[in-house]
Amino acid sequence: MTDPRPIGVFDSGVGGLTVLREILRRTPDESTIYLGDNARAPYGVRPDEEVRAFSTQSIDALVERDVKAVVVACNTSTAIALGDLRRRYDLPILGVIRPGATSAALATRNRRVGVIGTPATIRSHAYFSAIKDENPAVEVYEHATPTFVPMVEAGLLSGLEVEASVREALAPLLGERDASGEFVFPLPPSAKVDTLLLGCTHYPLLRAAIGSVAGEGIAIVDSAAATASALAELLSINDIEAPRADPGGTDGPAVAAAATGGANHVQLTTGDVDAFRAIAGRMFGEAFPDVASIELEATVSGA
C-alpha cells in the first residue's frame, strides 16, 4: 500500500527547515506541511507545561490537515513533550534527538562524543541520555553554543568571521588554544572526542564552518539528516510511502532525480509571514517559497 497524505513537520521556529530540507532530499515523492510556531518561539525559555500545550496545539493543527506522520523537528519539544504526544495521537511521531544520538553512538570509534546545542537543550541532557541508552560505554561531553542560532538567523553561515566565532565557541570542547589562535591538544588523540553531534536544528547550516574548525579527525553527525533517514525507514517499514512520481516506470536512481512532480509543500507560521520568509531566505535562499499564516487555539485542546 502507498499513502499519498503529507508528512507534518513541526518546530517552534525556522530551524526545523533543515530537517524538512533533508526530508525533501531523501523522500522527494512525499508531500509536506511545515508548521513553525514562530509567534511563541523560542520554546527553550518556557516552562514544560507550556511546551507540552503549544506542541499539542501545533500537532492538532497538523492532524486536522490529515498528515500520516509527524516529525517533531524541535529539540525542546522532543525533549519535553515527545512521550505525551505519542500517547495522545494514533499516528507515528518522530523526534530529532534519538536518531542523532543513535548515529553519534554508531559513528564514534574512541567512544567519546561531543554534543553542542542551545543552552536549553544542553541543560535538558536529552542527548546525553539518548546516547547512553544506545551505548552506555560512550562518554558524552555536552557544550552549549548560544551564539550559533542568532548567527544563522542573521544569515551568517560562512566566511572567516563565522569560522572565528565557531572556533571560539568550540574551544572548550575541542581543546586549548595557543597564542597564535591554533588549537593545542595536551591530551592524547584517544582522549579527545572523535565525533561531534549537532544537537540543534539550526547547526547544519554551519556544518562547513564547524567541520573546518573541528578538522578531519572528527566526524560531524547531523540530527537533521539522521531524522530524515529514520523517517524514510519508518515510512518503508509501516508501508505508508507516497506513490512514486515515476515517469519512466523504472525503479532506478532516475526516480529520485525526476521526483517532486506529484508532491506538494507548504510552510505555515503562527508568526509574521514576511518575517518567516525573510529569515528562511537568509538561511536557505529560495528553497521554501510557499509560506502561509496559521492561527492556533490559545487554549489546550481536551485530553
- Identify the residue among 149, 162, 230, 280 touching its own copies (CB under 8 A): 230
- Identify the residue among 12, 32, 56, 103 touching its own copies (CB under 8 A): 103
We find the least distance from the C-beta atom of residue 89 to its own copies, in angstroms, to be 9
Smaller CB distance to its own copies: residue 41 or 231? 231
Query: What is the footprint of its own copies within residues 201-220 (CB under 8 A)?
Result: 216, 219
Query: What is the footprint of its own copies within residues 39-98 (CB under 8 A)?
Result: 86-87, 92-94, 98
We find the least distance from the C-beta atom of residue 109 to its own copies, in angstroms, to be 5
Smaller CB distance to its own copies: residue 236 or 264? 236
At 153, which amino acid appears?
E
- Identify the residue among 32, 57, 78, 102 touching its own copies (CB under 8 A): 102
Size of the chain in residues: 303
From the centroid of its chain, how far is CA 89?
21
Q: Which three cell numbers stand for residue 26?
A: 531523501
- Identify the residue among 151, 162, 170, 221 touching its own copies (CB under 8 A): 221
Cα–Cα nearest to 119, from 97, 96, 146, 142:
146
What residues act catalytically? 74, 200
Distances (CA, A) of 78 to 16, 81, 84, 256: 12, 6, 10, 30
Mask of contacts with its own copies, 7-26, x by CB under 8 A? --------------------
Residue 291 phi/psi, 5-degree rounding, is: -110, 135
Task: Give the Cα separation of 43 and 9 in Å (integer).
Answer: 16
- Identify the residue among 137, 179, 237, 303 touching its own copies (CB under 8 A): 237
Q: Is 188 in the site for its own copies (CB under 8 A)?
A: no
Q: Is 109 in the site for its own copies (CB under 8 A)?
A: yes
Q: Is 260 in the site for its own copies (CB under 8 A)?
A: no
* C-alpha triplet 300, 43, 145: angle, nearest 5°: 165
Q: Which three cell numbers stand for residue 239?
A: 508501508
Compute how many other C-beta atoms are within 10 angstroms of the C-beta atom of residue 210: 25
Q: Which three cell numbers stand for residue 93?
A: 511521531
Angle between helices 223-237 and 97-107 (to 10 degrees): 110
Q: Is 242 in the site for its own copies (CB under 8 A)?
A: no
Chain positions contacting its own copies, by CB under 8 A: 1, 86-87, 92-94, 98-99, 102-103, 106-107, 109, 134, 136, 216, 219, 221, 226, 229-230, 233-234, 236-239, 253
